[in-house]
Amino acid sequence: MGSVNRKATGDEMAHANQIIQQAFPEYEVVWGSHGGYGGGRAPRDHTLSFRLRDPWGKYHSNVIWVNPAGLCGITVEWVRKVVKRGTSHKPRSRRR
């Protein structure tokens, strides 16, 4: 059998939505995927991503990538931390 990428189940997605809504009840959770952001921007195939959007359509977070295998383990604290940190504060290589 070849390489099989694991996909999130409905229960895992429901759990993740509930946790994210607890962390940021004022925003809507908008889910995306590998292909939703121009292909090669995901850390790997079949990762999921989410952003937080207000009722007027303005986004209040960067794209947050989540491995489907880790959806059941996310917590309110983790969600707040990664949204606060965003994706722009990753360590960068010294070589430019």
User: So what's the pLDDT on residue 45?
Assistant: 56
The string of pLDDT tens digits covering residues 13-65 is: 999 999 999 999 999 999 987 666 555 555 555 678 899 999 999 988 888 88
**Cβ 49 vs Cβ 33: under 8 Å:** yes
- Both tokens of 23, joined, read 């962390």
User: So what's the pLDDT on residue 23?
Assistant: 96
**Where along the chain do its domains lie?**
27-85
CA distance 57 to 33: 19
Q: Phi and psi at residue 49, in whole multiples of 5°?
A: -140, 155
Q: What's the whole-model pTM score?
A: 0.75
Nearby residues of 2 by Cβ (< 8 Å), 6 or more positions away = none
CA distance 53 to 89: 21
